[in-house]
């Protein structure tokens, strides 16, 4: 039983290390940001996931008992990775001025939110109050 758990933990650690390395190699190697975005997701899901499962099995095996910290870290990273990727893609689109015309037009005559200039507001004014003030100025 112990030998089986040791083999499992070792295989998981080596596999996770391989995926982490592949993710970072892709980050260094791929040609532009939209392709680079997808490489580190392997490191953050398979790499971190494998390491954390290995660590859970290891903690059970070595008498530390079942610990839920690993599950917390996995859950947090799985929740935040798509948000981070979305923000990075949005900021990439925002900076890439020369390709704006090639984007398809959104429905209902709206524009892409990331290309809209922020409304002129006072520095410490919350955006809801600023919107009300701008409406009042228009009327």
Partner 1 sequence: MIEIALIIGFACFSLALVLNLYRLAKGPGIADRVLALDTMVINGIAILILYGMWEGTAVYFEAALLFAMVGFISTVAYCKFILRGDIIE
Which stretches of the chain bind partner 1, using CB under 8 A? Answer: 6-7, 9-11, 13-14, 16-18, 20-21, 23-25, 27-28, 33, 36-37, 40, 43-44, 47-48, 51-52, 54-55, 58-59, 62, 64, 67, 69-70, 72-73, 76-77, 80, 83-84, 87-88, 90-92, 94-95, 114, 118, 121, 126-127
CA 77 to the chain's CA centroid: 8
Q: Which is nearer to partner 1, 25 or 100 (CB)?
A: 25
CA distance 20 to 18: 5
Burial, 60: exposed, middle or buried (Cβ in 10 Å; 0-12, 13-18, 19+)? Answer: middle
Q: How far is the CB of 103 from partner 1 (least distance, A)?
A: 16
CA distance 18 to 88: 25
Q: How far is the CB of 54 from partner 1 (least distance, A)?
A: 8
Residues whose CB is less than 8 angstroms from the CB of residue 101 and which lie 6 or more positions away in sequence, other chains included: none
Q: Which is nearer to partner 1, 71 or 106 (CB)?
A: 71
Q: Which is nearer to partner 1, 46 or 139 (CB)?
A: 46
Q: Which is nearer to partner 1, 97 or 139 (CB)?
A: 97
Q: Which of 15, 13, 17, 35 is nearest to 26 (CA)?
A: 35
Q: How far is the CB of 108 from partner 1 (least distance, A)?
A: 22
Q: Which is nearer to partner 1, 62 or 106 (CB)?
A: 62
Contact 47, 23 (CB under 8 A): yes
């Amino acid at each position: 039983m112990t030998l089986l758990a040791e083999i499992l933990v070792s295989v998981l650690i080596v596999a996770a290390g391989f995926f982490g390395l592949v993710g970072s190699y892709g980050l260094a190697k791929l040609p532009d940001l939209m392709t680079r975005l997808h490489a580190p997701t392997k490191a953050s899901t398979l790499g971190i996931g494998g390491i954390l499962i290995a660590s859970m099995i290891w903690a059970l095996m070595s008498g530390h008992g079942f610990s839920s910290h690993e599950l917390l870290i996995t859950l947090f990273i799985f929740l935040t990775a798509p948000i981070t990727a979305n923000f990075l893609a949005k900021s990439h689109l925002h900076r890439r001025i020369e390709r704006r015309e090639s984007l398809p037009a959104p429905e209902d005559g709206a524009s892409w939110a990331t290309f809209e200039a922020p409304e002129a507001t006072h520095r410490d004014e919350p955006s809801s109050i600023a919107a009300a003030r701008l409406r009042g100025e228009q009327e």
